[in-house]
């Protein structure tokens, strides 16, 4: 008997349901308990031993699903070989991050509301937790944001499809130079307002210029950011004098007052190695949590660039700004959108 994808999903849910109400169970207890949660009666389970049929087919797959849950870290086995659900922290999604992602996604294309929720779950990782509480919380936050943005006229909905309302903007900045301490907050605020897509392109162009002025040939510079980017926003390949080639993997986080966590750095480092990068750069318009900074210091081929270092690179490359003796001003060719 072949088990359908729907049955497989139902079996995993039954395992989680059983372990949610039990703890420190033997493998056999988990299997029998899961069969009950799946919907079989005690008599059906008892009569199935030594026979073929759906009960034994499901029983067999429970063992496979249980092993998968253990390997994924959702279920743990103690020293006595008893199973229980792993204790995990729910994914907490910040409203500002959720709003930014919704506007970014809708800025790329129109999306059905149900599909938008799925994209958000994948982006923030609530789909990877055993609990559905964080999924419900995310949907509630997203629903509130969508309603607010519709009232502002930034989002419109037609036949269940959400789309971004594009507005013509012609913001230009005065050319009067400002001292660094006044200019930097304006620069970071403007970058933040322009969104994630702008920041990814900005970082890519700035780093490309950085490598060129420091004597490297840039073989390629590709922005691949998006909901399916695998934790990587930009890939730059460079070549130095002797012919050594570096594949530099970059993540760009356009944030305001939200530090990058140690977990985010670990996930990025994993993505960097998955993409077979030789170096990694994590860029943010905010800062790094102390534990994230400590982790970065321990990684020989991965660095973090916070808002302070970002402006230092912008000054060095003169990308997006004009620098004079009187101070700094915006390059409107880059910042006017």
**pLDDT tens digit at each of 337 positions of the chain:** 677 878 888 898 888 888 888 778 899 999 999 989 888 888 888 776 554 578 888 888 898 988 888 887 778 888 888 988 876 556 778 888 899 889 888 887 888 988 999 999 888 888 777 667 778 888 999 999 999 888 888 899 988 899 988 665 555 565 689 999 999 999 999 999 898 999 999 999 999 999 999 989 999 999 986 555 567 999 999 998 888 999 999 999 999 888 999 999 999 999 999 999 999 999 999 999 999 999 999 999 999 999 999 999 999 999 999 999 889 999 988 887 5
Ramachandran region, residue 98 (left: φ > 0; alpha: ψ -120 to 50; beta: rest) = alpha
What pLDDT sits at residue 168?
53
Of 267, 283, 257, nearest in space to 96 by CA: 257
Residue 123, number of CB atoms within 10 A of its CB: 21
170 within a domain of the structure (yes/no): no
Number of other CB atoms surrounding residue 160 within 10 Å: 9
Q: Which of 243, 252, 261, 262 is nearest to 224 (CA)?
A: 252
**pLDDT, position 235:** 96
Domains identified in the chain, total number: 3
Residues 198 and 231 in one domain: yes
Cβ-based burial of 265 (10 A; exposed 0-12, middle 13-18, buried ≥19) = buried
- Are the beta carbons of 290 and 280 closer than 8 angstroms? no
Q: Identify whether 303 is part of a domain.
A: yes
Q: Which domain holds residue 148?
A: 95-164
The residue behind tokens 């079996």 is 11
Q: Is 214 a member of any domain?
A: yes
180/240 Cα distance (integer angstroms): 33
Residues 108 and 160 in one domain: yes
Q: What is the pLDDT of residue 151?
A: 87
SS3 content of the chain, % helix, strand, coil (to 5): 50, 20, 30
- pLDDT score for 182: 92
**Rounded CA gap, 250 and 271, in Å?**
10
Residues 318 and 198 placed together within one structural domain of the fold:
yes
Q: Which helix (H) or strand (E) holds 329?
A: strand 327-330
Of the residues 65, 85, 105, the one at which a domain ends: 85
Strands 155-158 and 161-164: antiparallel
> Within this chain, do residues 279 and 188 fall inside the same structural domain, yes or no?
yes
Pairing of strands 245-253, 279-284: parallel
The pLDDT of residue 57 is 85
Same domain (yes/no): 75, 159: no
Of 164, 198, 224, the residue that ends a domain is: 164
Domain co-membership, 110 together with 252: no
Domain boundary residue, one of 34, 65, 85? 85
Same domain assignment for residues 195 and 273 = yes
Q: Judge if 112 and 72 occupy the same domain.
A: no
Within a domain: 205: yes
Please give the pLDDT value at position 84. 87
Of 98, 107, 192, 195, nearest to 154 by C-alpha is: 107
- Report the DSSP pairing between strands 111-112 and 161-164: antiparallel
Residue 61 parent element (H or E): helix 54-71
Name the burial class of residue 138, with classes exposed (0-12), middle (13-18) and buried (19+) by CB atoms within 10 angstroms of its CB: buried
Largest Cα separation within the chain, whole Å, is: 89
């Amino acid at each position: 008997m072949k088990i359908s994808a729907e049955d497989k999903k139902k079996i995993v849910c039954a395992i989680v349901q059983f372990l949610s109400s039990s703890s420190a169970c033997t493998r056999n207890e988990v299997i029998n308990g899961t069969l009950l949660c799946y919907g079989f009666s005690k008599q059906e389970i008892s009569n199935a031993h030594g026979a073929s049929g759906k009960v034994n087919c499901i029983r067999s797959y429970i063992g496979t699903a249980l092993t998968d849950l253990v390997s994924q870290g959702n279920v743990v086995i103690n020293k006595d070989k008893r199973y229980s659900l792993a204790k995990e922290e729910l994914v907490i999604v910040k409203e500002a991050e959720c709003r930014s992602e919704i506007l970014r996604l809708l800025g790329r294309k129109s999306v059905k509301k149900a599909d938008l929720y799925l994209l958000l779950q994948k982006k923030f990782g609530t789909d990877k937790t055993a609990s559905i509480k964080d999924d419900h919380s995310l949907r509630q936050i997203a629903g509130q944001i969508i309603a607010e943005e519709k009232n502002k006229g930034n989002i419109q909905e037609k036949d269940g499809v959400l789309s971004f309302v594009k507005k013509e903007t012609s913001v230009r900045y005065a050319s009067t130079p400002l001292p660094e301490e006044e200019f930097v907050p304006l620069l970071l605020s403007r970058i933040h307002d322009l969104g994630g897509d702008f920041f990814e392109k900005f970082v890519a162009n700035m780093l490309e210029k950085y490598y060129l002025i420091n004597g490297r040939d840039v073989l390629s510079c590709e922005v691949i950011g998006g909901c399916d980017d695998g934790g990587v926003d930009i890939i730059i390949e460079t070549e130095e004098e002797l012919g050594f080639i570096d594949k530099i993997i970059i993540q760009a986080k356009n944030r305001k007052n939200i530090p990058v966590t140690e977990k985010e750095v670990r996930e990025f480092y994993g993505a960097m190695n998955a993409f077979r990068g030789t170096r990694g750069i994590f860029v943010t318009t905010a800062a790094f949590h102390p534990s994230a900074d400590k982790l970065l210091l321990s990684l020989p081929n991965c660095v973090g660039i916070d808002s302070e270092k970002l402006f230092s690179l912008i000054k060095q490359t003169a990308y997006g700004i004009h620098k004079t003796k009187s101070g700094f001003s915006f390059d409107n060719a880059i910042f006017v959108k």
